[in-house]
Structure 1
Amino acid sequence: MLIVGSIIDIWKREIHDYFWMVFGSIGFLLVFINSDILPHLLYLGIALIIAPFVIFIWRIGLFGGADAFALIALAVIAPMATFSENPVTPFTTLSNAAVLFILPFIINLIRNLAALIKHENIFEGFEETEFKKICAMLIGYKAKNPKFCFSIEKIEKGKKKINLTIHHAENEEYCTEPNTWITPGIPYLLLITGGFIIQLLQGDIILSLFIK
């Protein structure tokens, strides 16, 4: 489910709700093939604690509806599943995904440092503080032909400025202006998939650090 969903998300940046409803329904029906249903329903109820939390994150725009529904469907299909002996919680996949979210920042920084080493004037025309420039280098880069990205440029009194406001994952328009500073519209479903794989193999990364 997650791999197919990730491929669709990369390709179209949109996944129909029916996709998650089908998998979630199958997961729920599979509960009833167990001889002892009550413990499985209880376990499912605990796993679905994540549902209101991810719906809230979706509504404020930190990630898309597909990401929220993916986590809910995952909670139904494989509630707190792991092959490791490390602890997991209903929030483990999401917290692991949050750890993986650091990778795009590292990639952006390496890309921008490489451009500076090549003596490219990536902040040409900008009048900004060094702090904002460093922030821009972490969250984005200057794209020649943006695709599935959000602009982090704005014009104030005829001068270019860095715009560090949060972009709503579903309502914001993608940037198509060439040679613009952008932040990539990363398919968060990829990080969720990675977070679930880590959950299966390692459990909860953050929680295991505190317990050890």
Structure 2
Amino acid sequence: MFRVEQAQMLASLVVLTLATIQDINEREVDDVVWIVGLLVGVSLDICLFLKVRPPLESIVQYVRFLIPFLIIIIGSWRLKLMGEADILAFITLAILQPVHPYRKGMFPPAFCTLLYSNVLILLVPLYFLAWNLALMLKGENIFDGFEESTLRKFLASLLAIPIRAEKADKFKFFSVAQNGTSPRKKFKLISALSIPETKEELPKTEEPLVWICPSIPMIPFILAGYLMTLWLGDPILLLIQLIS
């Protein structure tokens, strides 16, 4: 028999998949996706409540986990570590899927998804590093004109990428990750610590490469984190099982 929890899972997958497609293509998600997701989520939550009649302690436990979860994601948004669409994705998921459909874990799926997606985002610096190494193997002098230490060059390779000015249009949003002119250019590593919400104007230069911090769509990572939650369950419980 088709259970309410399975309907919640299907709705969550549909909403996050639609949001992922829009985030990749446009770097924006239509508010209608979240509004419909929230309305469906509330309706399914009511059905689940009427069907299961959870005890008061279960509701209190969920609220106890939900409050720090909201504090974390809203704080991340205020610090520009997440975009508005990313926050709405987590809130929508928290409403759509309050409990794991297969009861894998003690934390709500939205919180587990937050943990998994942030672990996956750690792969982005490795991608940037591979990008920069590939340019160097092609003979590009990506650090030409920079007066920087080896450590800062390495950090820049993890947090930013050099592009040709004519290829900047392929990036929806980005921040410029360099200051000054040759031979005393410096990296702006602080630019990598927040999500760019605009496309900065590139500095006027005759040099072939300009370093930028591109805005990476995060909702695909949220979708991947949700799939990992469905498959692996609670990451904290999984970690405890691995080390015990």
Q: Give aligned pairs, total.
A: 211
The aligned residue for residue 91 of structure 2 is 72
CA contact 1:61–1:168 (8 Å) conserved in 2: yes
The aligned residue for residue 52 of structure 1 is 71
Higher helix share: 2
The aligned residue for residue 118 of structure 1 is 138
* Within-5 A mapping of 1:77-92: 77-81=96-100, 83=102, 85=104, 88-89=107-108, 90-92=110-112
Mapped to 2, the partners of 1:8 and 1:39 lie a distance apart of: 39
* CA spacing shift, 1:117–1:87, aligned 2, 3 Å: farther
SS at match of 1:123: coil
- Residue 163 of structure 1: which of 188, 199, 207 is its match? 188
* CA spacing shift, 1:35–1:80, aligned 2, 3 Å: closer
**What are the ranges of 5 or more consecutive residues in structure 1 without an aligned counterpart?**
none
Between the two proteins, what is the percent identity of the paired residues?
31
SS at match of 2:25: helix
CA contact 1:96–1:205 (8 Å) conserved in 2: yes
What is the identity, as a one-letter code, of the residue corresponding to 1:169?
A: I
Higher relative contact order (CA 8 A, sep 6+): 1
SS at match of 1:69: helix
CA contact 1:86–1:204 (8 Å) conserved in 2: yes
- Residue 113 of structure 2: which of 72, 93, 100 is its match? 93
Mapped to 2, the partners of 1:204 and 1:85 lie a distance apart of: 6
**Deviation digits for residues 158-185 of structure 1 (CA, Å, limit 9, x no counterpart):** 8311001145436x42245373111221
CA contact 1:47–1:76 (8 Å) conserved in 2: no
* CA spacing shift, 1:111–1:139, aligned 2, 3 Å: same
What is the identity, as a one-letter code, of the residue corresponding to 1:7?
A: I
- Residue 45 of structure 2: which of 24, 31, 47 is its match? 31
- Residue 10 of structure 1: which of 24, 30, 48 is its match? 24
Q: Rg bigger for which structure?
A: 2
TM-score (norm 1): 0.86
Say what the alpha-carbon RMSD is for the aligned residues: 2.7
Mapped to 1, the partners of 2:46 and 2:54 lie a distance apart of: 9
More displaced stretch, 178-187 vs 156-165: 156-165
CA contact 1:44–1:75 (8 Å) conserved in 2: no
Mapped to 1, the partners of 2:209 and 2:152 lie a distance apart of: 19
* CA spacing shift, 1:161–1:198, aligned 2, 3 Å: same
What's the offset of the Cα at 1:86? 5.3
What's the offset of the Cα at 1:59? 1.5
What's the offset of the Cα at 1:60? 1.5
- Residue 199 of structure 1: which of 206, 216, 229 is its match? 229
CA contact 2:104–2:234 (8 Å) conserved in 1: no
Verify: 1:188 aligned to 2:218, yes or no: yes
Mapped to 1, the partners of 2:177 and 2:54 lie a distance apart of: 51
SS at match of 1:48: helix
